[in-house]
Structure 1
Amino acid sequence: MIDSHKITAKPDFLLEKSPFGVCLLGKDFKITHVNEKWIAITSKDKKDLIGKGLADIFPQIKKNLSHFLDELKNTNRHYHIHEFPVTIETEGNLTGRFYNFLYCPVFDSEGELDYFCSLAVEIPNAVALKDQLEKSEERLRLATESNNISTWDLNLKNFQIYHSESLAHIFGYDSTHSITQLEMKNHIIDEDQHLLDEALADALATGKYSFEGRIKDKNDKIKFISSRGKIFYDEQNVPDRMLGVLQDISERKNLEKEIEEREVRYKFLADAMPQFIWIGDSDGNLNYWNQAVFDFSGKTLEDFTTGDGWLQIVHPDDREKNIEMWLNSIKTKTIFSLEHRFQNKNGDFKWMLSRAVPDFDDEGNVKHWVGTSTDIDEIKKQEHQKNDFIKMANHELKTPITTIKGYVQLLKKMRGNSDDQFLNNSLNTIENQVNKLNGLIGDLLDISRMEDGNLPLTRRPFSLIKLVTETIEDIKASEESQEIKFVLNSDSDIEVNADKERITQVINNLLTNAIKYSPNTNNVVVEISTKNNQAIVSVEDFGIGMDNEELSRIFQRFYRVSGEDEETFPGFGIGLFIVKDILDRHKGKIWVESEKQKGSKFYFSLPLNKKNK
């Protein structure tokens, strides 16, 4: 504390020795002496300061100047001005700074007032700190307002609360209204008052405040709010203040309620369906099954979420394939589809068709998998009965067909030199029709074997060129009107290791189809070549061709292409289905290029025998 009654000093001493800005004022408060540091504060020359009053130097304090100068003169006590802003010009640049000013009287050796002294002490970095604080406060205000967050400061000793303008708005008041802590409490609906009491008690115990509940605002509108805060303690470790934020979360709560209601409706719908419905996360871990799954299996949710999960109801013979195909779908993000057997609560196994599709987000990542399992046990039984019938019919028909064919061949041999042209033509027609009938029965038997997975294959090396040539000659013998052109694009023989009879069946089917679907032309082109260790055979016709829809279904079972008049051509529509299955079993491929009314070109490939590679 400076005792102004004791200050006696020579002006020159004060000016030279002081580390601060010093200004000496006469009894009339006119400037008599200044040092360089004080001159710098004013951004003026010394000659412009001497003899001037403070009001001339600092016009911004002119209004309050007379008050503090009178007090200084009448009381002979020092006078402080804190954090006074001063703009200083340095080399043409203006810089804002803050100073603390001290004004005090100085006495002579007789104790009489001699002059007044003004000391100016700069507050280091005050401007930068103040500016930084203001910017931080502005950023905080923008951040809270943009997220509909209000701030509050509660004095825990007198319960006076200070808050941002947006908080009053949340409670239904004008933004200029200063809401009290009691008003805020009274707006909490009665049913949630205990939540507020519990939150305050927890805050006093832990130092952290957290409340979420409903209010009825000034306009009787129900809103959901969420408030978080932290307690600050005084020097005696007594709770002093609590600072926090408050947010209107009505929109979020309403959305959560809507989602919850939708989930209830979805669950009701899913549980009402006889189909099995199941959901998995992005990694394929199943986490939901509808009620139909539990009713069928007799299992519980706990059974499916522990141990082998729901694999425990899959038939042991189907589990390995189930796991393999499921993991592949997860890895490739492609649709899962599998026929397998599930065990019901009685211990019986039923055939199911399970299918799952991935649900992607906007960036192509799998969010979850949605799957269904449909009971196809009755269909499987009917297919089994059909296959049994086909096998029985094949067996029963083979004998009379073989007998008919044998007698036709015997008659042709006995009457081969007959001049009876009608007889010869009739015998040839009967033989051709018997052969077609025999082929159809064979195709039906093949379908049955394929469905059972029992289509026999006898692999051995043979020349594909020779086989194609022989098959073409056989076709030409029965289809004399057709011109079949064979193009060989290889300098050496092409050998494959396959079932010769089945590959003959493939070539024969493609050639007869090319002839059948080219009613207005008599030209078919067959090519054979090699590429990438594969033998490639193509059969091209110039007939009715196919559109994109037909191309997408051409290898389906029982599908037949229609002509211009929409009449289908003869056949069961199983030939290409069988062809594709045969090639799949040989690790080969089949594909087609076609244009409506211009023709089609079928290709198939087979791996070359090792000695050709």
Structure 2
Amino acid sequence: MDVVMKFQAERSVKTILVVDDEGVIRELCARALKGYSVLQAADGEEALRLFEKGGIDVILTDVMMPKLNGIDLLRRLKEIEPTIVVIVMTGYAEKEIILNALKADADDFITKPLNILQLKTAVDKALDKKALKEEIANLKSMDRLKNNFLSLVSHKFRTPLTAISLFLQNLAGGVYDPEDPEFSRNLKLICGQSHYLESLVAELLVFSRFITAGGVLHLEQCNFCELIRSIVSTSRESAAKPDVDEVLDLDPVPPFPLDREKIAFAVGQVIDNAFKFSNSTGSVTITLREEDGVCRLIVEDCGVGIPREELPKIFEKFYQVDPQGTGQIRGFGLGLFYAREFIKLHGGAIIVESEPGKGTRVTISLPRTLPGAS
């Protein structure tokens, strides 16, 4: 079987992460959840590390655990990925624990001692509920997304087209004197608008190609370090911020199978955003490390940052971070949406941490071997 087909078949099996400091409970859950791929973690911190590797669909977590308790783990998980299904297992019936879990958006509860039938039913029900909610949300949002997209495209094209049209009208009307320095300045601005318009069309064509291709991966052996260096050297956003230093700290990683175009797009979006939202001076640090067969690319900037309440929205279609509130952010707000989709296709994960005024840190995790590959 082809590596990609094996990988996709593997991902059709839902993965459950069981988090409990009692090994016997974890083993009981693993045996009860036949038909699922089951991972185990002994505490909340270990659970977060496993979750960051990607590919987990449901998390079953105890409440009382060392290092990071179940409620705090639930909050962290929902901040990272609001749609993740989390079921809380508890032997405690205190109202405060239940209320805290509900406030943190727990999807269901299971009481201890565990009932095997109840456990499997809760997981099945949670997955069905998630799938139904996503389907309903998709159906409801189709018209809204279509209207938003048409409105966004119209808005993005209108600004450069209006500037070019007015310049040409003034030129035809004899308003400009070619010898006037003002003419040269305006001509330079219009050339910039023309290039921007060209980039918008190119971006639309790229997204159109991605939509048509769907979730198909075209894998080839790639040197990830070289790919990152190439992206940085050709980044327009980097070139536009000459006083922002590039700090590359890349450990050598042997070539491994990637869809070069999709991963280059995803990494390019993250790197471009780091420069785009940096101040006029400062630095962007790009670090690559490999641990236990997982490559972690970390991109950090010292820029404007993202408000906490905005973080869950940044991977939505057409959403754009606009720290100045100008409404003039370039692009269509699809870059991070596709970046996350492409990374997930590779069995990876992307996590964004940010604080207004202090910058943003993005971590991309990619396994060097796709699940299911021999």
TM-score w.r.t. length of structure 2: 0.50
Residues 1:500 and 2:250 are matched in the alignment = no
Letter of the structure 1 residue corresponding to residue 223 of structure 2:
S
CA contact (8 A) 1:336 1:357 kept: no
Letter of the structure 2 residue corresponding to residue 535 of structure 1:
C
Alignment of 1:292-307 (within 5 A): none
Corresponding residue SS for 2:235: helix
Corresponding residue SS for 1:457: coil
Alignment of 1:450-465 (within 5 A): 454-465=214-225
The correspondence for 1:360, drawn from 104, 110, 133, is 110
* 1:322–1:531 CA distance, 2 compared to 1 (3 A): closer
Superposed CA offset, 1:85-122 (max 9, x none)? xxxxxxxxxxxxxxxxxxxxxxxxxxxxxxxxxxxxxx
* 1:377–1:600 CA distance, 2 compared to 1 (3 A): closer
Where does residue 204 of structure 2 map in the other structure?
441
Report the Cα distance in structure 1 between the residues aligned to 2:138 and 2:336, rounded to whole angstroms.
27
The correspondence for 2:192, drawn from 419, 424, 429, is 429
Where does residue 608 of structure 1 map in the other structure?
368
Letter of the structure 2 residue corresponding to residue 573 of structure 1:
G
Report the Cα distance in structure 2 between the residues aligned to 1:511 and 1:558, rounded to whole angstroms.
19
Corresponding residue SS for 1:440: helix
Where does residue 485 of structure 1 map in the other structure?
246
Shift of 1:507: 2.2
Letter of the structure 2 residue corresponding to residue 437 of structure 1:
L
Where does residue 292 of structure 2 map in the other structure?
532
Shift of 1:500: 1.5
Alignment of 1:507-586 (within 5 A): 507-563=267-323, 565-567=324-326, 570=329, 571-586=331-346
Q: Which has the larger radius of gyration?
A: 1
CA contact (8 A) 1:592 1:600 kept: yes
Greater strand proportion: 1
Report the Cα distance in structure 2 between the residues aligned to 1:322 and 1:496, rounded to whole angstroms.
24
Unaligned runs of 5+ in 2: 1-10, 17-32, 40-57, 61-82, 86-105, 158-182
CA contact (8 A) 1:482 1:515 kept: no
Equivalent pairs: percent with the same residue?
21
Report the Cα distance in structure 2 between the residues aligned to 1:474 and 1:498, rounded to whole angstroms.
20
Where does residue 21 of structure 1 map in the other structure?
none
Superposed CA offset, 1:401-451 (max 9, x none)? xxxxxxxxxxxxxxxxxxx966984685256314421343135426644xx
Shift of 1:534: 2.3
Report the Cα distance in structure 2 between the residues aligned to 1:527 and 1:604, rounded to whole angstroms.
10
- Figure out how many residues of one structure are paired with residues of the other and give that number: 243
The correspondence for 1:474, drawn from 224, 234, 237, is 234
CA contact (8 A) 1:509 1:576 kept: yes
Alignment of 1:54-453 (within 5 A): 328=36, 358-361=108-111, 366=118, 376=136, 379=139, 382=142, 386=146, 425=188, 429-430=192-193, 432-442=195-205, 444-445=207-208, 448-449=211-212
TM-score w.r.t. length of structure 1: 0.33
Report the Cα distance in structure 2 between the residues aligned to 1:471 and 1:462, rounded to whole angstroms.
14
Superposed CA offset, 1:374-406 (max 9, x none)? 78499379569959x99xx9xxx9xxxxxxxxx
Report the Cα distance in structure 2 between the residues aligned to 1:461 and 1:547, rounded to whole angstroms.
38
Report the Cα distance in structure 2 between the residues aligned to 1:377 and 1:538, rounded to whole angstroms.
32
Greater helix proportion: 2
CA contact (8 A) 1:523 1:542 kept: yes
Superposed CA offset, 1:306-353 (max 9, x none)? xxxxxxxxxxxxxx969999965999676998xxxxxxxxxxxxxxxx
Shift of 1:525: 1.8
CA contact (8 A) 1:544 1:599 kept: yes
Report the Cα distance in structure 2 between the residues aligned to 1:555 and 1:548, rounded to whole angstroms.
14
Shift of 1:505: 1.1
* 1:435–1:530 CA distance, 2 compared to 1 (3 A): farther
Report the Cα distance in structure 2 between the residues aligned to 1:440 and 1:475, rounded to whole angstroms.
15
Where does residue 597 of structure 1 map in the other structure?
357
* 1:560–1:386 CA distance, 2 compared to 1 (3 A): closer
Shift of 1:468: 1.5
* 1:541–1:461 CA distance, 2 compared to 1 (3 A): same
* 1:553–1:363 CA distance, 2 compared to 1 (3 A): farther
Report the Cα distance in structure 1 between the residues aligned to 2:223 and 2:84, rounded to whole angstroms.
39
Corresponding residue SS for 2:268: helix
Letter of the structure 2 residue corresponding to residue 445 of structure 1:
S
Letter of the structure 1 residue corresponding to residue 291 of structure 2:
K
Letter of the structure 1 residue corresponding to residue 313 of structure 2:
R
Shift of 1:459: 1.4
Report the Cα distance in structure 1 between the residues aligned to 2:218 and 2:266, rounded to whole angstroms.
15
CA contact (8 A) 2:253 2:290 kept: no
Shift of 1:519: 3.8
Corresponding residue SS for 1:572: coil
CA contact (8 A) 1:558 1:572 kept: yes
Shift of 1:528: 2.0
Superposed CA offset, 1:21-66 (max 9, x none)? xxxxxxxxxxxxxxxxxxxxxxxxxxxxxxxxxxxxxxxxxxxxxx
CA contact (8 A) 2:15 2:38 kept: no
Corresponding residue SS for 2:300: strand
Unaligned runs of 5+ in 1: 1-319, 338-355, 398-419
CA RMSD of aligned residues (A): 4.8
Corresponding residue SS for 2:225: helix
Report the Cα distance in structure 1 between the residues aligned to 2:306 and 2:342, rounded to whole angstroms.
23
Higher RCO (CA-CA < 8 Å; seq separation 6+): 2
* 1:469–1:421 CA distance, 2 compared to 1 (3 A): farther
